[in-house]
Chain A
Amino acid sequence: MENLASGLAIGLGAIGPGIGVGLVVLGALQGMARNPEAAGEIRTNMILGIAFAEAIAIYALVIALLLLFV
């Protein structure tokens, strides 16, 4: 049961960040395609944006690990 809960926590918790990361990269790539000179700056900010979106998945991971190992 804990395994199931853990799997669901990380599985469901990864959906939102997945979409979020996709949107971040979509926007960044469009920006880079329109304005290739700014690619470097956009890439850095894209990585930061991904990191922030990913944070949500990390909270899910924390919950999953707690469920699995505690």
Chain B
Amino acid sequence: MGNVFRPKVIGVVLLVLLVMVGSAFVIPVPLPAIILPAEPIFCIGGQLVEGKKGLACEGGFPFTNSMLATLMVDLTLLVIFVTALRNMELVPRGLQNAVEALIEFFYGFTEDVAGKENAPRFFPLVMTIFIFTLVANWWELVPGIESVGWITKAHGEGGWAKRELLPGFYTLVREPGEYILVPWLRTATTDLNVPLSMALVTMVYVQISGVRALGLAYFKRFINFNSFMDFMVGILEIISEFAKIISFSFRLFGNLFAGTVLLFVMPYLVPLLVPLPFFALEVFVGLIQAFVFAALALVFLSIAVISHDHH
């Protein structure tokens, strides 16, 4: 254990600080506009026009940046699975081994929580939620996401000046102006529609599983005239079913949206070195949120198929 206050150590610390602070002046990073809804990047059978905030479609079906991101996620999954499973061998190697390990782990987890007879029914949904969410979340960390796209007029407060980088290619600079960036790609799970769609599918499947397992007796947990207490509990159960949809979708959306904003703000404050630990944090958050979504879906499914009368 040497002295921490050796001149060498102090020198290195000062250099790092200098690089960090200096980078804030040398590389001024503009803060992207924080927009909740997904923005259209082109229109299927319509015209892309400048809207109130960002871009909008005039007729036709708007194709949003989160849809493109979803397709990129699908593409990633396709590449991974095709590479891993093209030549399935009895003795697994490399990627096939990893994919098998993941699937085996989740199948075991499903069996642990839901029991052996329910596992085959619940597994596809749970596994897909995890894989899709994980890959979608980790796309957040790919360079170019949320930073390459159309530059358009802000039509409101905020916005940055634009400057020509190469002929035809522009960049926003950290000077007041009236332009914002509409990225071509945005983390799919930061579009509320994506987690909401998964939450809806999950909760509908929960009801279907409940009815399939218990028949009409399943609805006794919602509408029960045995006593006043049971009736009130039933109403609470109904409310909680809808609250589950909200908490499902907003948990994923909130974590990932906050994550992207964090990854905007950190380079905006200090462009070098400081954002690094936050990227590591986002890797962790992406994994945890994917797992939480899948695990909660599994738990709700398992609760639905257990009769209330038995306990």
A positions within 8 Å CB-CB of B: 44, 47-48, 50-51, 54-55, 58-59, 61-62, 65, 69
Contacts and interface: CB of A to CB of B under 8 A. Distances in A.
A48 B250 contact: no
A58 B292 contact: no
A59 B288 contact: no
Nearest to A57: B254
B295 interface: yes
Contacts of A59: 246-247, 250
A51 B298 CA distance: 13
Interface string B258-296: 000000000000000000000000000000100110011
B221 interface: no
Contacts of B174: none
Contacts of B247: 55, 58-59
B251 A47 contact: no
Nearest to B251: A58
Dominant secondary structure of chain A at its interface with chain B = helix
Given A51-B295, A58-B247, A61-B250, 10 more contacts: A48-B299, A51-B292, A54-B251, A55-B243, A58-B250, A58-B254, A59-B246, A59-B247, A59-B250, A62-B246
Contacts of A50: 292
Contacts of B291: 47
Given A62-B246, A65-B36, A69-B36, A48 B296 contact: yes
Given A55-B251, A58-B254, A47 B292 contact: yes
From B247, B288, B296, residue with most partner A Cβ within 10 Å: B247
Contacts of A51: 251, 292, 295-296
Interface of B: 36, 109, 243, 246-247, 250-251, 254, 288, 291-292, 295-296, 299
A13 to B, nearest CB: 12
A65 B291 CA distance: 25
A62 B251 contact: no
Contacts of A61: 250, 254
Given A58-B251, A65-B36, A44 B246 contact: no
Contact of B250 (A44, A47, A62, A69): A62
Contacts of B295: 44, 47-48, 51
Contacts of B288: 47
A54 B250 CA distance: 11
A55 B251 CA distance: 7
Contacts of A55: 243, 247, 251
Nearest to B250: A58
Contacts of A58: 246-247, 250-251, 254
B239 to A, nearest CB: 12
From A50, A51, A65, residue with most partner B Cβ within 10 Å: A51
Contacts of B296: 48, 51
A48 B109 CA distance: 13
A55 B164 CA distance: 45
Nearest to B192: A65
Contacts of B254: 58, 61
